[in-house]
Amino acid sequence: MRFTQLLIPTTKETPNDATLASHIYLIRGGFIQSVGGSGLYNFLPLGKKVLDKVQCVVKEELDRAGCQEVSLSFVTPASLWQESGRFEKYGKELLRFKDRKENDFILGPTHEEMMVNLVRQTVKSYKQLPLNLYQINLKFRDEIRPRFGLMRGREFLMKDGYSFHTSEEDMKREFDLMEETYKKIFTRLGLEFRVVEADSGAIGGSGSKEFMVLADSGEDTIVVCDKCDYGANIEAAVRQPKECEVEAPEATFARFHTPGIKTIEALSEYFKVDPYYLVKTVAKRALYDEGKSRIVLFALRGSDELQEVKACNAVDANDLVDVSEEELAEAGLVAGFMGPTTLPEGITVIYDNELKNASSMICGANEKDYHLVGNSFVGIEAHFDDLVAVQEGDRCACCGGSLRYTKGIEAGHIFQLGTRYSEPLGCVFLDENGKSVPMVMGTYGIGVSRLLAAIIEQNHDENGCIWTKESAPFDLHILVSNIKDEEQLAWGEKLYAAMKAKGVDVLLDDRKDRFGAKMKDYELLGIPHAVVIGKNLAEGKVEFITRKEMHKEEVSVEEILSLLEERF
């Protein structure tokens, strides 16, 4: 393509709401255009080309792994979501609306229901299984706070795949195959990534893994081990039980006056004990279907932090929200002096697993200005669960190595679903014995538009994008320095025609602008290689540039064609 014929509205100025490199360069390079600044974006020709390239890699690898592509309706009747129970449960991110006949509809944020519906209508026998169907289609999630450009938009392009099996084992086989397939996809796209254990979230189901593109700007915190290849999202990370070098304080059970001592820090100071021997009691309101809710207390060691997603799972709630002091008072609780023993009527408490063998613990007395010392939880009958957020320096549960945090962008997520959807939605098949059995499912997602942002987050410099080989909008960028110099132009045209004839996707910058402007745009657009035809043509030389290192190589005009032929 010729630059003069392409719509590439590059700008010098940075949009004022953009802070992330990917956001800035995708806008400045004219890849995408913000729509009303509300997490919606138009893809301009260059952005669309990149999107297609990424999509193509995804499609090729999936097809190679035996998946079949379909395309599901974006607008979904609410009745399907009511059947699965998610119409209520999904929360405000689900955009609900009515058509002219007052029927309820939603814009699909994910398509389990729709795909299950498709399969239950067409698959009846074990002979038709297994099946892995996918689509690359729009999704809409009405995010609380869309930001960071394509990283967290409300409308986005996603590849979502669903597999259907006759047994758990077969589903696990497919799950492993998808893990391998995803690794191939991310590797081909030139990304540095890590596969980590994850929480299953609103999708439900058991085992799940996330594909994290490593980047400091990532929104997810992932826990990795220094020694082994353990990696997990902070929401799902586990560790060896923590130990404390300091001896437990000797104490028999007693009630202590602790006026105004409200925080773990103050308490630790007051009793001169390590926070390890204090009980942190966190109150949350757990929200359930049909507007039901209840106050729940979570008890953990004072040296630990509550991991909210784990806590939410422990009480099987849709969400956890904070509780105001007034609400606490109504429930008979006092902020700053709460504890898991001596509870008022109707309050449930969940203990962290690491309190199972704890004794000599200090906790709130549920009475203003009083704490209890010498508490023991050994052998008590109670609801124990994993509630703690793994911290840096904790011990790896697999090998004992030291755990540390790193940041990642969630680019892919695969789930073992089981019969979470097939059962309520009646997605069944007849087995060899003619018995009706629910299909076992897996589901697999890749954030395709987010991948564009992830690629740039990992591959950019202070001047712009650096696309990887398989994601680049063009293979080669030919820059004619001075279009009015007939010889330069003639060589540019000649190279352009020759490369096009070879099937290389090449961009010819034939604009009337000066050299500097064109060079800046080249760096901004970030096509992997460029040929500059300029001043040195008088000595029979042109320049071959590699974008990544901005490495410039002088080549004689006679040799440039053969050099390019080698490269492409």
Partner RNA sequence: CGGAGUGUAGCGCAGUCUGGUAGCGCACCUGGUUUGGGACCAGGGGGUCGAAGGUUCGAGUCCUUUCACUCCGACCA
Q: Which residues form the interface with RNA (CB under 7 A)?
A: 10-13, 15-17, 19, 28, 36-39, 144-147, 262-265, 280-283, 305-306, 308, 321-325, 328, 335-338, 364, 463, 481-485, 512-517, 519-521, 523-524, 532-537, 543, 552
Place of tokens 């360069």: 25
Phi, psi dihedral angles at 101 (to 5 degrees): -95, 10
Between CA 265 and CA 425 the distance in angstroms is 51
State the minimum distance, in angstroms, from the CB of residue 477 to RNA.
13
CB-based contacts of 503-507 (< 8 A; 24+ apart in sequence): 504/475, 504/476, 504/564, 504/568, 505/474, 505/475, 505/476, 506/1, 506/474, 506/475, 506/476, 506/477, 506/478, 507/1, 507/2, 507/3, 507/6, 507/473, 507/474, 507/476, 507/477, 507/478
- Residue 288 CB, shortest distance to RNA, in Å, is 17
CA atoms within 13 A on the CB side of 532: 23
The span from the CA of 37 to the CA of 380, in Å, is 54
Tell me how far, at minimum, the Cβ of 476 lies from RNA, in Å.
16
- In the complex, least distance from residue 248 CB atom to RNA, rounded to whole angstroms: 20
Going by the DSSP 8-state scheme, the letter that residue 473 receives in this structure is S
The number of angstroms, rounded, from the C-alpha of 93 to the middle of its chain's C-alpha atoms is: 16
Token pair belonging to 462: 């202070």
**Closest alpha carbon to 29 in 520, 413, 424:** 520
Angle at 145 between CA 198 and CA 442, to 5 degrees: 30
Q: Which is nearer to RNA, 250 or 486 (CB)?
A: 486
User: How far apart are CB 281 and RNA at their closest, in Å?
Assistant: 5
Nearer to RNA, 329 or 430 (CB): 329
Quote the least distance from Cβ 243 to RNA, whole Å.
Answer: 20
> Which CB, 123 or 563, lies closer to RNA?
563
Phi/psi at 474 (5° precision): -135, 160
Residue 220: exposure state from Cβ atoms within 10 A (0-12, 13-18, ≥19): middle
- Identity of the residue, 194 or 548, whose beta carbon is nearer to RNA in the bound complex: 548
Contacts for 424 with CB less than 8 Å, ≥ 6 apart: 83, 84, 85
Structure tokens at 87: 């119409």
CB of 416 to RNA, least distance (A): 29
Say if residues 372 and 362 touch (Cβ distance below 8 Å): yes
In the complex, what is the shortest distance from the CB of residue 171 to RNA, in angstroms, rounded to a whole number? 35
Phi-psi region of 37 (alpha: psi -120 to 50; beta: other; left: phi over 0): left
Our CB check for RNA shows the closer of 41 and 134 to be: 41
Instruction: Name which of 14 and 82 has its Cβ closer to RNA.
Output: 14
Q: Least distance to RNA from the beta carbon of 168, Å? A: 36
Q: Which is nearer to RNA, 120 or 280 (CB)?
A: 280
Q: Which residue has the tokens 């009846």?
A: 124
Q: Which residue has the tokens 């010498």?
A: 374
- Taking the complex as a whole, the smallest distance from the CB of residue 481 to RNA amounts, in Å, to 4
267, with CB counted inside 10 A (0-12, 13-18, 19+), is buried
- Give 444 or 522: the residue with its C-beta nearer to RNA: 522
- Would you say 127 and 155 are in contact if contact means Cβ atoms under 8 Å apart? no
Closest approach, Cβ 242 to RNA, in A, equals: 15
The answer to whether the CB of 471 falls within 8 A of the CB of 52 is no
Shorter beta-carbon distance to RNA: residue 226 or 327 = 327
- Residue 382 or 489 having the CB closest to RNA: 489
Please identify, using beta-carbon distances, which residue of 469 and 552 lies nearer to RNA: 552
